[in-house]
Amino acid sequence: MELFWYLVLMFMLAMYVILDGYDFGAGIIHLFFGKTEKDKKAITSAIGPFWDANEVWLIASGGVLFFAFPTLYASSFSGFYLPLIMILWLLIFRAIGLELRGQVHNRMWERIWDKAFGIASLLLALFFGIALGNVVRGVNLGMVENGVSAHEPHYFFLPLWNPTFDPMAEHQGIIDWFTILLGIIAVVILTMHGANWIIFKTNAAINSKLKKTVFRLNFVLLALIIVSLSVWHIIDPNPFRNFLEHPWLWIFPLMTAIGFGGLFRVQTFKKDITGFLCSSLFLFGGFASTAASIFPNLLPSTNDVNPSLTVYNVAAHEYGLGVGVIWFIVAAILVGVYFFIQHKVFKGKMDDVGYGEH
């Protein structure tokens, strides 16, 4: 039963990365490519009817985490308290940037909320990438110092950074050279993902420029992936052990490679949706590959005193997990119906939606 809820949680997080990921990417595109009012309108129209529904996946993931893995929930929400509050404020500013821009037709007012929307989207992409880096790297559970655990085995707290920016330090920070590398990768791929969504949902004048941008950024992404893979062994001496023990797991890196290869052909695709499907496949495969590489760990321990938090030692009672399956099925049906209706109503190009105009 623990494995079932782990798969549910990973699927929901992957859906959040894909769906709200293109919102973040669109915000980054808005910040750097939205030069004219027409371009800005096209970008916001592409995500306007979808962005708030996409964020539900994050809330639902938090609910599943609280219900199925309460110890992990308690540990991570206390240990990552500072960055979580920063993410909350960024989500707020991103939302009000979209909603308040059209309330007053004043050039300075519009510029302020344009910047709020774009910068918040950029920082959210960066912080979520850094968050993934923290999970891959692990944390000092129990706040062990000189071989002695100062707190409970599942407790930790991280400052925003430490003076050395060293991921292997005894007392790490949220930001170090490894986590910032994954954060930059997240910014690059989500920018490409957002560009592909805008191409798919609009006939904007900037679409041809966005296709060229996606193609060029793919080379940047390739260089970053090579660097990240080459330094991964510093963080984890044997990062591919699960793939060697269970060869079927290689399907996830294969999905990542197929999506990545497709992005090099984004300028030649006849159907606008193809580029978005390629970046979605890359994100899903990359996220699944990362989860598979650290399984069964959910939050690795960087010390030898306290064990890592795993799928099995942080799960709720078997009875509660079993009862929850019934309600999950009901919720899954409702969410499926909602998303079907939403995308049915807003199918096709969104240029004339006029989101944010009041």
DSSP per residue, 148-217 = EE-S-TT-----SB-TT--TTSSS--SB-HHHHHHHHHHHHHHHHHHHHHHHHH---TTHHHHHHHHHHH
The confidence score (pLDDT) of residue 49 equals 87
Distance set, CA 277 to CA 28, 82, 97, 141 (Å)? 19, 34, 28, 38
pTM for this predicted structure: 0.94
Distance set, CA 235 to CA 67, 103, 128, 179 (Å)? 30, 48, 19, 11
Give the residue among 256, 245, 240 at the shortest CA–CA distance from 288.
Answer: 256
Q: Which residues contact 171 (CB under 8 A, 6 or more apart)?
A: 140, 143, 145, 162
The DSSP H or E segment spanning 144 is strand 144-145
The DSSP H or E segment spanning 291 is helix 273-294
Distance set, CA 72 to CA 59, 79, 289, 297 (Å)? 16, 10, 21, 11
The confidence score (pLDDT) of residue 354 equals 66
312, two tokens: 């099995």
* Cα 43 to Cα 37: distance, rounded to the nearest angstrom: 10
Cis bond upstream, residue 167 (ω within 30) = no
The confidence score (pLDDT) of residue 51 equals 87
* Cα 321 to Cα 142: distance, rounded to the nearest angstrom: 27
Distance set, CA 284 to CA 17, 58, 340 (Å)? 8, 16, 20
The confidence score (pLDDT) of residue 100 equals 84
Q: Which of helix, strand or coil describes residue 142?
A: coil
The Cβ of residue 313 has, within 10 Å, a number of other Cβ atoms equal to: 16
Q: Residue 155 phi/psi, 5° resolution?
A: -90, 145
Q: Which residues contact 39 (CB under 8 A, 6 or more apart)?
A: 33, 204, 205, 206
* Cα 283 to Cα 24: distance, rounded to the nearest angstrom: 14
The confidence score (pLDDT) of residue 345 equals 85
The DSSP H or E segment spanning 299 is strand 297-299
User: pLDDT under 50 in the chain at which residues?
Assistant: 358
- 235 contacts 253 by C-beta, under 8 angstroms: no
The confidence score (pLDDT) of residue 358 equals 47
